[in-house]
Chains A and B, each alone.
Chain A
Amino acid sequence: MRRLLLAITIALCGLALIAGTVEWQWRQRGYLPGILDGQDLWAQQRQRVYPEDGQQALVLLGASRTLYSIDLQRIRERLPGYAPVMLALDAMPAMATLRDLSADPHFRGVVVCDIDGIGLWKITWESQQPWVDHYHRQWTPSRDLHRRLLNLWQQHAVIARSDFSLLRSLVRTLRSEPEPFHPHMQMSSAREGSIDYQGVDTSQHRRDLEAHLAKYNGKFPGPDPAVWHADLAEAKAWVEKIRQRGGSVIFYSSPISGLRRQVEEDTYPRAQFWNRLAESTGAHTLHADDVPALKAIALPDESHVDYRNKRAYTDALIDALVTRKLL
């Protein structure tokens, strides 16, 4: 027994010394701990769409614009009857998740689905399906506990990030590469993202979009409006199912500016696409262009909100939804 206790003591001291030294060394260079997004974290939020205590779930679907722009605490403060759940996924349109919620007989919440023309085009509908499958096939209470403990670890330890793993450090040393970027994005365990645009070269986003656009001779190929609307008949059934259970669906076009806006207007002219969306899907719609307060929000990279403006943006969105009696 003495041998065991001595070995355990040495092991724990050694671990604390090694891991503590590495942690201290990264913190000295200004790195901070942070939650890493993933399928388990998403599934952990997905299981929260059935709130109790008389609340109704307010499910936020969409891609990065919603993931990094919404202040969940502000929603809790201003809409106490709703439990906000963030299911937006970076760079992935949300139709697969909307379909999944409609097929879930226990879901009775309100869905605010931030989406644009391409996100409603059927060819992108399956983008989030792997996350949906993960929730239904892999997610268990055991994974939930693991993820909760991992959240705690990631919230407190810089070394929980794979950028600082032994292998990555070795690779950087062998390649004489600089240290990892100081991330300008943060994520919370409730999947609320934040972007700090201070010191970020936002013109790079525009240059990337220009380069991408140049490949298509200045205009992205878009769908035939008739086909685009006809495909949405399927989504109309999803919306109806949610409505029958006491919930609702609001398709929301979030603010964009500059070249991004020009591209959207060229490829999906509002008159032909968005303006007929309510009719095609039976859902409520809200376009940021119709809300001066949303239009006025600064968009450093033409589509996302700096974390300092999240509260104002969330207020503007809540006001618009409440004013139109959508909440």
Chain B
Amino acid sequence: MQFDSLTFVVFFLGLLALYQLPWSWSARKWLLLLASFVFYGAWSPAFLLLLIGSASVDWWLSLRMAAATAPQLRKRWLLVSLAANLGLLGFFKYGNFLNRNVESLLAAIGVHWQAPVFDILLPVGISFYTFQSLSYCIDVYRGQVPVQRSLRDYVLFVAFFPQLVAGPIVRYSEFRDQLEQPRRSSADGVVVGLSLMLLGLFQKVVLADTVFAPVADTGFVAGAAPGTALAWSATLAFSGQIFCDFAGYSMCAIGAALMLGFHLPDNFRSPYAAVGFSDFWRRWHISLSTWLRDYLYVPLGGNRGSQWLTARNLMLTMLLGGLWHGAAWTFVAWGAFHGAWLGIERFGRRVLPDSTLLRAWPMRACYGAFTLLVVVWAWVWFRAPDFATAASIHGAMLGQQQTPAPVLSTEAWIALASFGVLVLAHLLTRSFDLRAALGRAPAVALGLLWALLLAAIVLSPGAGRAFIYFQF
């Protein structure tokens, strides 16, 4: 079930009505769990069983971990959990990718083996819920969180429908108290939550699907040789699409949770206004970047070793972060490119003197613009269906295509203008607390804002595209 479907409107209104009934907290948790199952099962009942099975296994393993006193035994249970989660992810997401690569590798050394192609559907949200469940097991192993003895509460933590299929990836430490303490919908929560949901839907339906996606699609066609203007317009449009699609989903998720009395962490903070690459990753998909930091980068050694080891750890983290997004080498290239810039930035900070000149606003503005340029450049690998198309688009962006420069369509100009407004909005809201501002807004202003957002959504009927991050 998608947030931008009419089914969700019916589902959520029904749930909100039932949630207000004077039931015990335990009964309302059962209600939320059932609603989460309906939400997820609407895609595939079979994959709902997979989700329940996966969460139940982790819950049981965490109990074994907590019961074990010997460190070796605790470690063994953790390894089983790692194997189960990563095995699940590997089978559904990377099985065919692995087979194709083994086939190519063998062919390179003269061994001809035809890899079987499995007709496997990727369970929606699997990358998100396995990471969420995995973080809990690791935290229990580390003794950072107490074990959850209620299977219902644990499955609700994993399957809580607002964040289930595309994040934010919630940590158990952030959710535990919310499971223990009874939650209620409050008028203030509904005000802010509804505002966030409408803002999220506006980003998804109006900006991502209607304004940006059609322009991006015209440039990213396998085997096409776009001119410079088309390559730039398609890439900038995709930069707008990916943000509005994903941040729109996160905003809807946070808003829906808030209307039920739950607080989910922010996932985006004006990322296109980032100054530098580490700043970008503190603002983009925050729940994934902090996950990768805490459960991959730091265990690899983080920045505790030499410069080279730190660079290696950064690169490995970003390579795996890239691969997390999709089973294709183009995603790995995207991660590697970001990893390289993070390494260069780190090196630069070490060798350049910390002068006031570097901290002056013109220098920061230049570096911010450069960061945006590099981030936009990297999106080409993320969106292109293969390296040849990515190379063709990068070449065109550098003016290397010999095709005549096409006149940009009106739709492309609108997309470019919208991207400009989006970047400006990020600059203006770099340190802005949206939730607090919405919480303070007067009723008339809120009503007018909601009316405009709703009208824009209703007046943007379209193809009803799936959220991009569902495929991850």
Contacts and interface: CB of A to CB of B under 8 A. Distances in A.
Interface of A: 1-4, 6-15, 17-19, 22, 137, 140-143, 145-146, 149-150, 153, 159-162, 164-167, 170-171, 174-175
Given A10-B443, A166-B460, A171-B410, 13 more contacts: A1-B187, A4-B187, A7-B446, A10-B446, A11-B446, A11-B447, A19-B458, A145-B6, A150-B6, A159-B459, A167-B211, A167-B460, A174-B410
Nearest to B42: A142
Residue among A7, A164, A175 having the largest count of chain B Cβ atoms under 10 Å:
A7
B444 to A, nearest CB: 6
Given A140-B42, A142-B1, A15 B461 contact: no
Nearest to A18: B455
B406 to A, nearest CB: 16
Interface in B424-451: 442-444, 446-448, 450-451
B191 interface: yes
B446 A145 contact: no
B20 interface: no
Interface in B188-227: 190-191, 206, 210-211
Contacts, number: 112
The 9 closest A-B pairs by CB, nearest first: A10-B447, A14-B451, A142-B42, A11-B450, A149-B6, A6-B443, A18-B455, A7-B446, A7-B447
A209 to B, nearest CB: 28
Contact of A140 (B43, B411, B455, B462): B43
A145 B10 contact: yes
Contacts of B43: 140, 142
B7 A143 contact: yes
B410 A4 contact: no
A136 to B, nearest CB: 10
B344 interface: no
Contact of A18 (B1, B6, B44, B451): B451
Contacts of B1: 142
Interface of B: 1, 5-7, 10, 42-44, 121, 187, 190-191, 206, 210-211, 410-411, 414, 442-444, 446-448, 450-452, 454-456, 458-462
A146 B43 CA distance: 13
B458 A15 contact: yes
A8 to B, nearest CB: 7
Contacts of A164: 459
Contacts of B210: 165-167
A53 to B, nearest CB: 27
A309 B462 CA distance: 33
A17 B454 CA distance: 12
A137 B44 CA distance: 9
Contact of A146 (B7, B190, B414): B7
B191 A11 contact: no
Contacts of A22: 459
Chain B contact residues: over half helix, strand or loop, or mixed? Answer: helix
A159 B190 contact: no
Contacts of A7: 191, 443-444, 446-447, 450
11 contacts: A4-B187, A10-B448, A12-B451, A15-B455, A19-B455, A140-B42, A140-B44, A141-B42, A149-B6, A160-B461, A161-B461
Contacts of A10: 443-444, 446-448, 450-451
A61 B211 CA distance: 36
B450 A3 contact: no
A12 B452 CA distance: 10
A28 B7 CA distance: 31
B7 A11 contact: no
Nearest to A2: B443
Contacts of A9: 447
A13 B455 CA distance: 11
B19 to A, nearest CB: 16
Nearest to A136: B121
Contacts of A8: 447, 450
B5 A137 contact: no
A12 B455 CA distance: 10
Contacts of A3: 187, 191, 442-443, 446
B89 to A, nearest CB: 20
A276 B412 CA distance: 53
A3 to B, nearest CB: 4
A142 B410 contact: no
Contacts of A160: 461
A165 B462 contact: yes
Contact of A4 (B190, B206, B460): B190
Contacts of B206: 166
Contacts of B458: 15, 19, 159
A13 B443 contact: no
A167 B411 contact: yes
Contacts of A6: 443-444, 447
Contacts of A167: 210-211, 411, 414, 460
Nearest to B449: A11
